[in-house]
Chains A and B, each alone.
Chain A
Amino acid sequence: MKRFVHLLLVLALAVTALSTFSTGPARAQEGPTGTWFGTWPYILPPEHHLNAFSEGGLNTNLGVVYKSFVLLPPAFMMWATNEYEPLLASEWGFEEDGSAYFLTLNADATWSDGTPVTSDDVLATYAIGRILDWAQYDYIADVEKVDDKTVRFVFSGEPSMLAERLILKEYVAPAATYGELAARAVEVYESGVAMDDESWTTLRSEIEAFRPEELLASGPYIYTLDDVGDSYMTLRWQPNSLFSDQVKFGELRLWAGETEATAPLVLSGDLAHSTNVYPPSTQEAFTNAGIRMVDLPRGYGPAVLFNFDVYPWNVKEVRQAAALVIERSENAFLTNGFGATPTIYMAGLPDEMVPVWLPEDVIDQLDHYDFDPDRAAALLEGAGFSKNDDGIWADADGVTLSGEFKFAAEFADFSGMAQNATDQMNEFGFDITARAVPWQESAEDIRNGEFDISVWSWSSASPFPSRMFFAPIQRFNYVGLPEGQNGMNFPMEFEWNGEMINLDEMINNTSAGLDIEQQKQLAGEVALIINQLMPFIPTNTLLSVEPLNEALISGTPSDDDPILQNPSGSGDHFIIYYILTGVLGPV
């Protein structure tokens, strides 16, 4: 027995020793050294695959931040100046008559196998995109090859800056990998069949099920499925990209998982940067551990949504009163600690975009709805409401300002906002009951109009006013939903200053054409309407508070670096540009 125990002990020691000394790097590589330690919630093989167009492929596993290191988009936008910096493309712009948009690829751009990136790659990408019904085809009718490096996108209608952004942010995939599917896509489209034709849907399924065996990268990093581990995956440097000589990291290590898995890694110094959302207490722990936190805009935040089919929420004064009795600083803090800022202008655009897009005279007219219960009371009294014996506001028929405030239980920011707004409104004399529901149900209830008051995002991480105004007034309203769903059911056609207007069209037109001044004028009108009618209450905007461990990386931007105005989830995250151009490097 003793001998058996000894044998077991020896075996255990040997196994432990081997495991300790056998975890060194398996491959040596040329090029830069050092590792970037980031995170992305990728999935594992067999679901993980290398298709750039389908779910489970590059979009899922690299997201908008890390996909750019493998497949370069044509350009990167600096939000502070609204200007694009070249990545895969060297030139771009609208043709003089506005009928098309041209794009010229960098003459030196090559794939990882050394072959050049050409117009054929762009054509293949968009041929497949047409079968997948990409948003670009809302604006363009065709993509034409001008020469080996230049393509032109022919507009189907007016030229659009929205289309420009879609074109400049689209990742170009290699024709060498997708050429066969692209050729069939062209055939199917040119045969003139409708999108629900069997040939179209079959090809769509084939595109989805396509599994490339290996990647071709235009960016300076590449990986194979062997590089996808259970806890992290590794993007390895490759020498043939435009940016291969500029980058300073030999590999990008992406830890798997979400907040619960990455928080210990940040604290232990295994993670240099993360885009996960951490609760305020965790953020404090990071700071205490000497880890720098950078604030990036998210471009959106939680808003109080009203159902206009339910009285009294369709009464303007009631909504305005609600806006006046929610103290937004407190509400922002309870939404996401220091990762949320109270809204100032209440105009349907994030505050930082107000000076960019709204004329001065419009900004001066905006009602800030500063916390003022007396003004709220006066508004309600003017509309025929008074407090009953229970201290609840009621109309002349005794109908109280009562309702249910539904919120998504899983979203800590939404639930914090909703519960605090409920408390503050009740303190004033509303009779609101907060109710947590699963997030999927919450979204579905809003779409179906099965709510009194609810919470969802307003605005979005887009540089265009039409996209910023989009949520929630179009997104969760009958104009943006399929038939049979009315959402908030806020009427978009009504009389305003003596004439009939269509707010839906007005919002869409704020990004139509190329005349910025005209767009600003229209954006100003929309902002004033939203500000005065208060169809939703934009209580605060969220910040992405991201840990940046300067013990692991050098070249981090200072707090006043304009690139930090780029939103976190927009595809223009600052780390994309700063890693590609070698600003960020290992310590």
Chain B
Amino acid sequence: MEATPAPPVPLEQEAHMPRPGAAGLLRQGLRRIATSYTFRVIVQGALTLWAVTTFTFVMIRQMPGNPVDIKIDQLMQTRGMTYEEARNMAAGLFEFDPNAPILEQYLDYMGKLIQGDMGQSISSAGTPVIDQILRYLPWTLFSVGSGLLISFTLGVFIGMAMAYWRGSAFDNIMTAFASIVYGIPDFVIALLILLVAGVQLQLFRVGSVLGGVDNDIQAGFNLAYIGSLIKHAALPVLTYVLASVGGWILTMKSSTISTLGEDYITVARARGLSEGRILTAYVGRNAMLPLVTRLAISIGFVVGGSVIIETIFLYPGLGRHLFLAIGSRDYTTMQGVFLVIAFTVVASNILADLLFGLLDPRVRVGGQQS
């Protein structure tokens, strides 16, 4: 996909060319940068991020209610305050002025963002949004990332095996399994795990698996802490795996079946290559291509976590935090999380482009020829 470089100037011509001055060199350098593929990608990415940031900035302010109104309603409902009392109290709780012109708010936000400042949480004044993101992001990356990696790997191998032994009992059972789990919403799977395996069958104590880590274990690079992390992440990860593995399996199976019918597979067999070699080097690699883009997009959404799953398992990830921020209309926190998600999606799409070229030589060759 890399842009074809300009052909080199023949040496004899170069000798007669006037030597560029410093300004000329700078211009040349800038032109080279401006026309380079990487630069274009970065500019496109930056524009996408700006568009997403602006869009989410406007859209979340179109949601009914603002942080102050929501707090006023809560105070009136729960403490029986009059509107005036609740408004006065809410005004003391928030530094946010909901009546400020939206353009003013936008310019203020973008001005700070350009300087790397995501602002402070509205509903928890004094807490920088970046601190919130850094607090919750690693948990989501760990749990959703592990879940994605496991389900993708399982999906690829199982899907390939099903296609290879098409029509077998294994294929039929796994097709049914994949179709069923793919059709069940993830939060239902989470509740079933807790209520059936935890409460009904008592395979584990519900209270001991909630949260991100045991309260009484000191954080550090030691086996107890790592073991606790794994124990608490196990059920959220299992939920992500069950909820997504069906999709990977079915896609991989279908992709493998179409690859198995290709001429080059027949040729490989005719050449007497072993089945293992055919399966890994010829079938698997080509059948995986359609899954790569999907994987890249999924990686992008890893940081968004799974809002409901993290809420059910009390897992301290970005999804649970986003859920609370949406409920309280914490605009700055929501914007910060959406920005991180957008950034990751853009970055992972770029990665997908590059990865696609690596996996499929035709793409590389095609790119160079063009």
Contact = CB atoms under 8 A, between A and B. Distances in A.
Interface of A: 14-20, 22-26, 43-47, 49, 54-56, 64, 131-135, 138, 204-205, 207-209, 211, 227, 229-232, 234, 255-257, 260-261, 264-265, 267-268, 270-271, 437-438, 440-441, 443-444, 457, 460-462, 467, 470-471, 474-475, 480-482, 569
B305 to A, nearest CB: 14
Contacts of B76: 471, 475
Closest 8 CB pairs of A and B: A231-B211, A440-B65, A19-B227, A441-B64, A270-B207, A230-B211, A229-B215, A460-B80
Contacts of A470: 80, 82
Given A22-B228, A268-B199, A270-B205, A46 B132 contact: yes
Given A22-B217, A56-B125, 12 more contacts: A19-B230, A23-B216, A44-B135, A46-B135, A47-B123, A132-B89, A231-B207, A232-B210, A234-B215, A256-B211, A265-B210, A475-B82
A135 B124 CA distance: 22
B195 interface: yes
A441 B210 contact: no
A22 B227 contact: yes
Contact of B78 (A14, A135, A438, A569): A569
How many of chain B's residues touch chain A, expressed as a range? 35 or more
A25 B207 contact: no
B270 interface: no
A265 to B, nearest CB: 6
Interface in B77-104: 77-85, 87-89, 91-95
Given A132-B89, A232-B215, A461 B80 contact: yes
Interface stretch (B30-38, B155-163, B250-258, B307-315): B307-315
Interface in B193-238: 194-195, 198-199, 202, 205-208, 210-217, 223-224, 226-228, 230-232
Contacts, number: 192
26 contacts: A16-B227, A18-B224, A19-B230, A22-B214, A25-B216, A44-B316, A47-B123, A47-B124, A47-B132, A56-B127, A64-B78, A132-B92, A204-B92, A208-B92, A229-B215, A230-B314, A230-B316, A231-B207, A234-B215, A257-B311, A260-B311, A264-B198, A438-B65, A440-B329, A444-B69, A475-B76
B276 interface: no
Interface string B118-133: 0001011111000110
A261 B312 contact: yes
B123 A56 contact: yes
Q: Which of the listed residues A132, A135, A205, A481 has the most CB atoms from chain B within 10 Å of its own CB?
A: A135
B98 to A, nearest CB: 12
B53 to A, nearest CB: 23
B171 interface: no
Contacts of B77: 457
B189 interface: no
B124 A43 contact: yes
A209 B207 contact: no
Contacts of B339: none
Contacts of A22: 214, 217, 224, 227-228
Contacts of A45: 135
B295 interface: no
B121 to A, nearest CB: 6
B363 interface: no
Given A230-B212, A231-B210, A462 B199 contact: no
A367 to B, nearest CB: 27
A261 B83 contact: no
A133 B89 contact: yes
B68 to A, nearest CB: 11
Contacts of A23: 208, 214, 216-217, 228
B206 A462 contact: no
A256 B92 contact: no
Contacts of B64: 437-438, 440-441, 444
Nearest to B120: A209
A468 B108 CA distance: 43
Contacts of A462: 80
A204 B232 CA distance: 41
B324 interface: yes
A270 B125 contact: no
Nearest to A467: B80
Contacts of B92: 131-133, 204, 207-208
A15 B216 contact: no
A231 B210 CA distance: 6
Contact of B207 (A47, A204, A268, A569): A268
A135 B81 contact: yes
Contacts of B70: 440
Contacts of B95: 205, 208
Contacts of B71: 55
A18 B135 contact: no
B206 A268 contact: yes
A257 B314 contact: yes
B267 interface: no
B250 to A, nearest CB: 29
Contacts of A20: 227
Contacts of B231: 16, 19
Given A270-B205, A440-B64, A569-B78, A133 B314 contact: no
Given A19-B224, A43-B124, A261 B314 contact: yes
A261 B311 contact: yes
B63 interface: yes
B198 A209 contact: no
A25 to B, nearest CB: 6
Contacts of A480: 82-84
A329 B272 CA distance: 80
B83 A481 contact: yes
